Amino acid sequence: MNESPNHSGAFPPLEIAHKVELLGEKKAKTDTLTLFVLAVLAGAFISMGALFYTVVITDSDLGFGVTRLLGGLSFSLGLVLVVVAGAELFTGNNLIAMAWASGRIGIRAVMRNWILVYLGNVVGCLGTVLLVLGSDIASLGGGAVGETAIAIAHAKMNLTSVEAFSRAILCNVFVCLAVWLAIGAQSVSGKILAIVFPVSAFVAIGLEHSIANWFFLPFGFALDGHSEVSIRDFFINMLLVSAGNIVGGTLLVAGVYWLAYLRGEHQHKD
């Protein structure tokens, strides 16, 4: 396959599809320790972006839209670190479904990757929560950062099941498109630019990212001594958001692009 970029400095969509397919196969075959360590890193990276977002939106008087935009730009730090520095993120790894659809890997390999990466992401997020609590970052701004964190956590838990699931579907459409565009870019600056707009959009709109929520919710509720959220409700929310992310990433991005670009090749091989 000729992988020459077009005049924009990016690979064309068909070549991106091939790259995603091959990368998915590689990710699925990564050894367990490497996969888990990189997943822990991704959880920490996303948590850093989430913390940055929390600080930036605190006490902003710029108006709803502009504040959310600045928060989204700040949150983009997380996925920039994942893609450029190198880490394994559950939501982005939903694109592995393309390699499965092409018959390059089996469903067991897909599930192994998703489960290991998800668990590693959770460990990275919870570890970051502990560090942030120990650093007393919530006290910044006279305690306003902590109040913002608590408000974020409660707002997420107050979503209905339909809202949480739907917002999670839309969220991972944006995240996987960000990863897709970053794979198509050749330079570090190109990858960063490819990530910033989709991620800023999903954050500004108020969509739900399962891994980010493993930072936002534990952090917020650890600060809130009066929270009445049950463990059951917490895990139901996480399940809904995680399932929605899978639907958005696998069906609406990986599935659609596989049908558009790789289906014919797969049928030809058959």
Q: For 12-69, how does the pLDDT look when each residue is reduced to its tens digit (9 = 90+)?
A: 999 999 999 999 999 999 999 999 999 999 999 999 999 999 999 999 999 999 999 9
Domain boundaries, the chain: 13-261
User: Rounded to an integer, what distance in angstroms lies between the CA atom of residue 78 and that of residue 83?
Assistant: 9
CATH number of 13-261: 1.20.1080.10
The pTM of the full predicted model, rounded to 2 decimals, is: 0.93
User: Rounded to an integer, what distance in angstroms lies between the CA atom of residue 261 and that of residue 17?
Assistant: 7
Query: pLDDT class for 270, splitting at 50, 70, 90?
Result: very low
Q: For 215-250, how does the pLDDT look when each residue is reduced to its tens digit (9 = 90+)?
A: 999 999 999 877 777 888 999 999 999 999 999 999
Q: Which residues contact 203 (CB under 8 A, 6 or more apart)?
A: 53, 68, 71, 72, 75, 76
Helix (H, G, I), strand (E, B), or coil: what is residue 185? strand
What mean pLDDT comes out for the span 173-190? 96
User: Rounded to an integer, what distance in angstroms lies between the CA atom of residue 241 and that of residue 108?
Assistant: 22
Query: Which residue do the tokens 């929520």 mark?
Result: 213
Q: For 65-88, how does the pLDDT look when each residue is reduced to its tens digit (9 = 90+)?
A: 999 999 999 999 999 999 999 999
Q: For 123-169, how does the pLDDT look when each residue is reduced to its tens digit (9 = 90+)?
A: 999 999 999 999 999 999 999 999 999 999 999 999 999 999 999 99
